[in-house]
Amino acid sequence: MPEALEATTKDATAPESVPAAPPAEKDARARSLWSDAWHDLRRNPLFLVSAVLIVVLLAMAVAPWLFTSADPRHADLAKHYLQKPNWSHFFAEDWFGYDIQGRSIYARVIYGARASIAVAVGVTALVTILGTLVGMLAGYFGGLLDTILSRITDVFFGVPFILGAMVVLTSFEERKLWVVILSLAFLGWTQIARVARGSVITIKQADYVVAAKALGASTSRILLRHILPNAMAPVIVVATIALGGYISAEATLSFLGIGLAEPTVSWGVDISSGQEQLRNAAFVLIIPSVMVSITVLAFIMLGDAVRNALDPKLR
């Protein structure tokens, strides 16, 4: 009985919304959707764990020297990879052992965070801007513009992400960080555009948008003041979850040898070089892989937590 369920959820939220603050109520703090969401998030262990992980990862990316004094590019062939990790030497140079060229894996993992996270954050930022713009224009104006933009979105959506990135990236001589970011963003904006378009179409019919039109508000005002703030919640959720995906995309491409390349320090590059010695020293491969997994997981968990907080009805 789906109808029953719906009726119940409606009524379950009723006690929250119906009785509004009587004049005598002391609690006069302004509560926006975001502050309500924050209130929920602070109590959510999923959010707390992912937030701590992300803060640590961001710190690694911004200031890796705080975590290790070792140089990730310093190769000392005397310290061969067969010299096993010293699991008890916490945060020491040889904590995770050395790779094939005798470089500290611990230092490389710390320094590698920067490239991975820069790619992920950069791509997510570009994708969010581009996707929201396309989705908002298509959704708000509709008609021919919508038809054209939606078909373009469909074309890009049809391109397999990794395959497309491979094609784009192989056409570049030098694969710098920004090249990787731009190529991934070029292919990745479609999902956000679709989400944004859908949410704009719903919101543009809301009475408060009609009310603003009736007041004579300009189109830019309606878009920026009324549509955008209300359409952003689902976009942010999708973007957060996608961010994890871009980290693994970067790793995949680097592993395949067409993403970032030496001398850039990145998890993908290390996974790529680690596979060569999989039988002798699996940890060389496993440790950067685990870092990728943890990071992806942290962002996906964050996205989930944010979605739950923004839209309690989904739970």
Binding site for another protein (CB under 8 A): 1-9, 11-23, 25, 28, 30-33, 36, 39-40, 206-208, 210-218, 221, 225-226, 229-230, 312
In the complex, minimum distance from the CB of residue 224 to another protein, in angstroms, rounded to a whole number: 12
| 191: nearest Cα among 140, 134, 253 | 134
What does the block give as tokens for 243?
Answer: 């961010």
What does the block give as tokens for 137?
Answer: 């224009």
Nearer to another protein, 22 or 158 (CB): 22
Nearer to another protein, 16 or 262 (CB): 16
Please state at what angle helix 228-255 crosses helix 177-188, rounded to 10 degrees: 130
Under a CB-based contact definition with an 8 Å cutoff, are residues 57 and 298 in contact? yes
Q: Would you call 52 exposed, middle or buried from its count of C-beta atoms within 10 A (0-12, 13-18, 19+)? A: exposed
Nearer to another protein, 17 or 171 (CB): 17
In the complex, minimum distance from the CB of residue 148 to another protein, in angstroms, rounded to a whole number: 12
In the complex, minimum distance from the CB of residue 51 to another protein, in angstroms, rounded to a whole number: 19
Nearer to another protein, 109 or 195 (CB): 195
Under a CB-based contact definition with an 8 Å cutoff, are residues 131 and 192 in contact? yes
98 phi and psi, to 5 degrees?
-130, 155
In the complex, minimum distance from the CB of residue 40 to another protein, in angstroms, rounded to a whole number: 6
In the complex, minimum distance from the CB of residue 301 to another protein, in angstroms, rounded to a whole number: 20
In the complex, minimum distance from the CB of residue 12 to another protein, in angstroms, rounded to a whole number: 5
Nearer to another protein, 247 or 306 (CB): 306
In the complex, minimum distance from the CB of residue 17 to another protein, in angstroms, rounded to a whole number: 6
Q: How far apart are CA 189 and CA 74, in angstroms?
A: 38
Could you tell me which residues come within 8 angstroms of residue 314 by beta carbon, excluding any fewer than 6 positions away? 307, 308
In the complex, minimum distance from the CB of residue 200 to another protein, in angstroms, rounded to a whole number: 14
Beta bridge partners of residue 104, listed in sequence order? 98
Q: Would you call 130 exposed, middle or buried from its count of C-beta atoms within 10 A (0-12, 13-18, 19+)? A: middle
Nearer to another protein, 2 or 263 (CB): 2
Nearer to another protein, 155 or 282 (CB): 155
Please state at what angle helix 190-204 crosses helix 177-188, rounded to 10 degrees: 50
Nearer to another protein, 139 or 259 (CB): 139
CA neighbours within 13 Å on the CB side: how many for 145? 11
Q: Would you call 277 exposed, middle or buried from its count of C-beta atoms within 10 A (0-12, 13-18, 19+)? A: middle
